[in-house]
Amino acid sequence: MLFRRMRMAVRALTLGLVLVVLGIGRATGQVEEFSYANPQRFVVKDITVEGVQYGEPDVIITLSGLAKGDTIELPGKQVTEAVKKLTKQNLFSKVEIGVSHIEGQFVTLNIQLTEQPRISSIEYEGAKRSAKDDLKSKVSLRIGQQAAPSTLDAATRVIKKYYLDKGYYNVKVEVRQAPDTLMANATRITFVVDRGKKVKVKTIEFEGNKAFKAKKLRWKGFKDTKRLLWYNFFRSAKFVESKYKADLDHLIAYYNKHGYRDAEVVWDSVYRISQYRLGIKVGIKEGPQYHVRDITWVGNTVYPAETLTKLLGFKKGDIYDQELLDKRLYTDENSILTLHQDEGYLFFNITAVETDVKNDSVSLEMRMFEGPQATINQVTIAGNTRTNEHVIRRELRTMPGELFSRTNIIRSIRELANLQYFNPETLGVNPVPNAQNGTVDIGFTVEEKSNDQLQLSGGWGGGMFVGTVGVKFGNFSVRRIFDPKAWRPVPTGDGQSLTISGSTNGTQYRALNVSFTEPWLGGKRPTSLTLSFNHSVYDYSGYIWNPSNDYFKVTGGSIGLGTRLKWPDDFFTIYGMLSFQNYLLRDWKQDFLFTNGQSNNFYLQLTLGRNSQDQLIYPRSGSNFSITAQLTPPYSFFNGKDYSNPKMTAQERYRWVEYHKWTARAQWFTALAGDLVLHLNAQFGYLGMYNPKVGYSPFEGFDLGGDGLSGYNFIYGRETIGLRGYSNGSLTPQLGAGIRMGNVYDKFTMELRYPVVLKPQSSIYVQVFGEAGNAWYELNEFNPFQVHRSVGAGFRVFLPFLGMLGFDIGYGFDPVPGNPDANRWQPHFIIGQQF
C-alpha cells in the first residue's frame, strides 16, 4: 500500500510539472489552465524548435513523434512520449515542450532544448605516453562530439579494458568535466587513470586431475595464464580474464588431444590472495581415455580406403587424439583435404562421425563429399601500387585453366613474401568458387612496403674501423631509365636489384662496390643474372685526399647465373659464378706474405641450395640448406714451375692463386608456441690445396669470432664468420706476428626468437642464443667437438630503409690461449646483416 501511494505521489508530481509547462498564455494573453481531469483535444497547427545549434529542426520534430495535423490531448500522453523520445537520444541535457499559441481548436507547440555540451579537449591523466597513443586510437571520442553520459561511460569501459588486458586488475578511471571558458556550451574532458600495480597469478591448482600432474596442466594445458615464476621468460604472469577463459577451453583441448573426449571443467574459481596476487582453482572431470576401434570411409571414389587410412595415420588401438585427427583431415600439409584439393576437388569436404562409442573405444566413419574438379577461371591482384603486375604473376603457381591446388596457393603466398616488396603479415588470398560451372576465381591482395635500403654497416679489423654506406634499390627497373616520369627517385617496379656502396676508415682506406641482379632473365623463366664490380685501395702511409705510393689495391668483377630446379623439388636452386680478383701490392708494410707484386684470383663458384623458409625477415617454418664449391684452375699442375724450389718468392708462388674451397650451411625454423620460434644453424668451411708444395692460399680463408661484420679482412679476401661472446677474429689460428689464417671452421647456433612488432614500418624481435665453434689451420687438426661455447641475448630491428640492425651481449665460456680478453662478456652491434 505504501509503495502504491509513493508511486501515485510521483505521478502527481510529474503531471504537475507538465501542467506548468503547458500552462502557456493563449493569443488573448490569458493563461489557460489545463487539467488532467478534463483534458482538451487540439489539432497541431505548427511545431517550432528552439535552443538547437547543430541539429536540424525538421529532424528533431521527426524524432519527437509529433507532426503537423496530429490530434492530441492537452495534457496527454503524446507530449509526454515526445519528451521521452527526445531524451533517449542522449543529445540534450534538458527537454521541454510547451504551448506557444492557441487559436480555437488549433495549437502551436514549442520544443525547448538544451544541447549536451560539446567536447573541446580530451586528456588522459596518469597514463604513459605510449598508453595515451593507444587510447587515442581505441577510444572513439572525438573533439566536437557531444559529451553524453552514455558516451563517456562507454569510453571509460574501453579504457578499463585496455588496462585489464595488460594485467592491471585494480585499475580505476574517473571522468572529470570542466567548462571551456573560450567556447559556448563546451566542456574539457579528462580521464584520470589510476592503474595501480599489475595483478599477477601466484598459484594455479587443479582438482580431479588423475591422468596429468598439475605441473603438466599448468605448462601444457594453460597457454597464456601462467604463474609468477623467475624462469617464465616468454609468458607473463599477469591475469587477463579473456585469456584465462580461453585457457579453460585450451585445457579441455589438451585432454581431448590425449583421448579424454569426455573431459570438462565442472567449476573454476579466481580468488584474491592479496591486493596484487590472485589464485586460480579449476575442478576437472576427466572421464575415461578413449582409443580408436576402427575407421571406415564412405563416399570415396578418387582414392581407395587403404590409401586414405595410411595417410590418416591412425590404426586400431591408437589414442583417440581429436586435435591430431583434425590436423590430418584438414590442416596438415599432407592432410586428406589437401590431398583432394591439390587434385582440383575444391568442393571436397569430410566429416568424422563417431558411430559407436563403447567402454573406452570409438569407431569412426569418414563421410566424404568429393564433388567435381574445379578449374581456375581468373586470377586477380589488388593492392600493388608500385610493383608491376607481371612481376607478381610470374611468382604465382595458380594459372587460369589449371586445376585448383591448395598447395600451389600456399606456395604462391610464400613466393610473394620472399620478394620483400610486400608486408608478409598481410598477404591474402580469396578463392571465390562457382559450383554451378565448376570454376574458381582467385584474388590475391598485397600491401606494398618500401624495399629500398640505405645500407649502413661496419666492422673492426687490422686495428681500424671500416664503415660502409650504400643504397640498395630492391625493385629497380632498367627499362624505365629513359622515362622521366619514372624517376621517383629512381625507376621501380620490375623486380631488379641495384646496389651501390662505398667503404672507408676515414683516413687511408676506400672502396667501391656495384652490383646488379635481374631475377628473371628473359622474363619467362626464374633464371637470374648478376653482375658486380669492386675496387678498393688502402694507402698505408697516405690519406684519401693525398694518395701515396704505398698501397694494397683490389680490383675485380663477377658474372653469375642461377635458376630454380624442378628436381628433387622446386625449392632447389643452383647458382654459378665466374669471378676475377686482382691484388696489387706496392711497398706494403703490413704483415703479409710479400710486399711488392700482384696476385690473381680467378675462380668458378657453384652453389646448390634448397630454401623453404616461409619468409625472410621473421621465418616461422621451413629450412635453408646450401653447399658451395669454389674452384680455381690447378695452375701448378701445368705451368711448369718448381714449387719445391726454396728460392721461389712468395710473389711468384701466388701470382695465380690456386685452391678449392667448400662451405656448407643448414638452417631450420620451427614455431614452438605461437610466434615463439626455434632457429637452429650449423656451418662448415674448408679451404683446401691442390698441391702441398704450393701450400694454402693466402686469400679466401676464414676469420672466426665476434659480430660477423667484415672490416679489414675483405682486403685479403677472407670470409668473416661471427661467433658471439668472443672478440672479432679471436678464434682464428695465429701463424705469426699479426698473421691469422683459418682454413677449416665449424659453427653451431641455437636461438629462441620472439617478435615484439611485425609491421611494414619495422619488425622487432628479441632472442636468446647459444653458440659454439672453432677454426683450425690444418684439416687433420679438425675436431667438431673441440669448440668455444657462448650464450647470450639480444634483439633485432628491421627497418625497410636501413635493413637489419641489432645488438647482442654474449658470454664466452672458454678462454682463448694467448688472448685473455677475448671471451667473457662481449657486446656486439649488428649493422647491415645480410640474409
**Structural domain includes residue 426:** yes
Which three cell numbers, joined as nine digits, stand for 374? 574445379
Compute the distance between CA of residue 308 and CA of residue 335 in angstroms, rounded to an integer. Answer: 10
Contact at 8 Å (CB) between 92 and 115?
yes
**At which residue does the C-alpha cell 637489419 appear?**
804
DSSP string, 555-620: EEEEEEEEEE--SS-TTEEEEEEEEEEEEEEES--SSSS-SSEEEEEEEEEEEEEEE--S-SSS--
Domain harbouring 153, CATH code = 3.10.20.310
Q: Residue 14's pLDDT is what?
A: 43
What element of type H or E holds 340? helix 336-341
Q: Are residues 365 and 225 in the same domain?
A: no
What whole-number distance in Å separates Cα of residue 762 and Cα of residue 797?
Answer: 7
pLDDT of residue 420: 86
Cell of 21: 509547462
Partners of residue 102 on adjacent β-strands: 107
> Residue 326: what residue type?
D
Q: How high is the pLDDT of residue 291?
A: 96
Give yes or no for a cis peptide into 489 (omega within 30° of 0). yes
Do both 686 and 756 map to the same domain? yes
Q: Which amino acid is at 789?
A: R
Parallel, antiparallel or unpaired: strands 676-688 and 702-704: unpaired
Count the Cβ atoms, other than its own, within 10 Å of residue 182: 8
- Measured between alpha carbons, how far is 272 from 539 in angstroms, rounded to an integer? 73
Rounded to 5 degrees, φ, ψ at 649 are -75, 160
Residue type for position 442: I
Interior/surface letters 695-722, b for 16+ CB within 10 angstroms, e for the rest: ebbbbbbbbbbbbbbbbbbbbbbbbbbb
The answer to whether residue 296 is domain-embedded is yes
Around Cβ 37, how many Cβ atoms within 10 Å? 5
The half-sphere exposure of 287 on its side-chain side, counting CA atoms within 13 A, is 18
Neighbours of 111 (CB within 10 A): 25
Q: Which three cell numbers stand for residue 425?
A: 603479415
Is 168 found in the same domain as 129?
yes
Verify that 262 and 345 share a domain, yes or no.
Answer: no
Phi–psi pair at 329, nearest 5 degrees: -85, -40
**Residue finishing a domain among 285, 312, 335:** 285
**R_g of the chain, CA atoms, integer Å:** 38
Angle at 722 between CA 719 and CA 724, to 5 degrees: 165
Can you list the alpha helix ranges (DSSP code H) found in 289-331? Answer: 305-312, 322-326
User: What residue type is assigned to position 659 of the chain?
Assistant: Y
- Measured in whole angstroms, the distance separating CA 758 from the mean position of its chain's CA atoms is 3
**Do residues 633 and 659 share a domain?**
yes
Omega prior to 75 cis, within 30 of 0: yes
Percent of the chain that is helix, strand, coil (3-state, to 5): 20, 45, 40
Which residues is 460 bridged to in the sheet? 465
Element of type H or E holding 184: none
3-state SS of 274-295 is ECCEEEEEEEEECCCCCEEEEE
Using DSSP, how many helices (H) and how many strands (E) does the chain show?
13, 36
Residue 595's alpha-carbon distances to 509, 556, 576, 713, 812, in angstroms, are 17, 20, 33, 17, 36
Q: Cα–Cα distance between 592 and 595 in angstroms, integer? A: 7
Q: Which three cell numbers stand for residue 659?
A: 685452391
Assess contact for 387 and 495: CB atoms under 8 A. Answer: yes
Q: Are 587 and 558 in contact (CB under 8 A)?
A: no
Cβ neighbours, 10 Å, residue 77: 11
Judge contact between 564 and 572, C-beta under 8 A: yes
Neighbours of 683 (CB within 10 A): 18
* 3 state DSSP class of 231: coil
As a whole number of angstroms, the distance between CA 87 and CA 95 comes to 7
Domain of 227 in residue numbering reads as 200-285
Q: Which DSSP category does 742 fall into? A: B
Residue 586 lies in a domain: yes
| Neighbouring residues of 364: CB distance < 8 A, sequence distance ≥ 6 | 292, 294, 295, 296, 352, 353, 354, 355
Closest by Cα among 747, 721, 726 to 792: 726
pLDDT at position 304, please?
Answer: 94
- Clarify whether residues 303 and 364 are in a common domain: yes
> What angle do helix axes 57-64 and 77-88 make, rounded to 10 degrees?
120
Which residue in the block uniquely carries the three cell numbers 515526445? 82
Is 275 in the same domain as 349? no
Asked if residue 510 is part of any domain, the answer here is no
C-alpha cell recorded at residue 505: 676508415
For the beta carbon of residue 724, count every other beta carbon within 10 angstroms. 26
Domain boundary among 140, 168, 194: 194
Q: How many residues are given for the chain?
A: 835
On whether both 36 and 185 belong to a single domain, the answer is: no
368 closest CA partner among 310, 298, 312: 298
The three-point CA angle 434-440-444 to 5° equals: 130
Residue 383 and residue 329 share a domain = no
Whether residue 483 is contained in a domain is answered as no
Query: Same structural domain for residues 624 and 609?
Result: yes
User: Domain check: are 224 and 353 in the same one?
Assistant: no
What long-range pairs does 553-557 form, CB within 8 A, spacing at least 24? 553/582, 553/583, 553/584, 553/585, 554/581, 554/582, 554/583, 554/584, 554/715, 554/717, 555/581, 555/582, 555/584, 556/580, 556/581, 556/582, 556/601, 557/531, 557/532, 557/533
**Dist. CA 329–CA 24, nearest whole Å:** 78
**Phi, psi torsion values for 512, nearest 5 degrees:** -135, 135
pLDDT along the chain (835 residues), means of 10: 41 40 38 64 88 79 87 85 83 84 88 84 88 87 83 90 85 90 85 88 94 93 84 69 91 95 95 90 95 95 94 93 93 92 94 92 95 95 93 94 94 91 90 91 92 66 65 89 86 91 80 94 90 88 61 93 92 96 85 82 97 90 96 94 89 93 97 92 96 90 84 65 92 74 95 89 91 95 94 90 84 91 88 51
Cβ contact 822:736 at 8 Å: no
Query: Is 642 contained in some domain?
Result: yes
In sign, the C-alpha dihedral spanning 522, 525, 526, 527 is negative
- Looking at 162, 194, 226, which one is the last position of a domain? 194
The pTM of the full predicted model, rounded to 2 decimals, is: 0.66
- Angle at which helices 2-22 and 77-88 cross, to 10°: 90
- Which of the 8 DSSP states describes residue 218? I
| 3-state secondary structure at position 216 | helix
Split into its structural domains, the chain has a count of 6
**Domain membership flag for residue 640:** yes
- pLDDT score, position 130: 83
- Which residues, at least 6 apart from 782, have a Cβ–Cβ distance to it below 8 Å? 744, 746, 776
Strand partners for 358: 361
Note whether 79 and 135 are same-domain residues. no
Q: How do beta strands 92-103 and 106-115 pair?
A: antiparallel
Burial label, 823 (beta-carbon count in 10 A; 0-12, 13-18, 19+) = buried
In a domain, 475, yes or no: no
Q: Residue 372 and residue 347: Cα distance in Å, rounded?
A: 7
Nine-digit cell at 119? 567536447
DSSP three-state, residue 730: coil
Q: What burial class does residue 16 get, using C-beta atoms within 10 Å of its C-beta: 0-12 exposed, 13-18 middle, 19+ buried?
A: exposed
Residue 5 has a pLDDT of 41
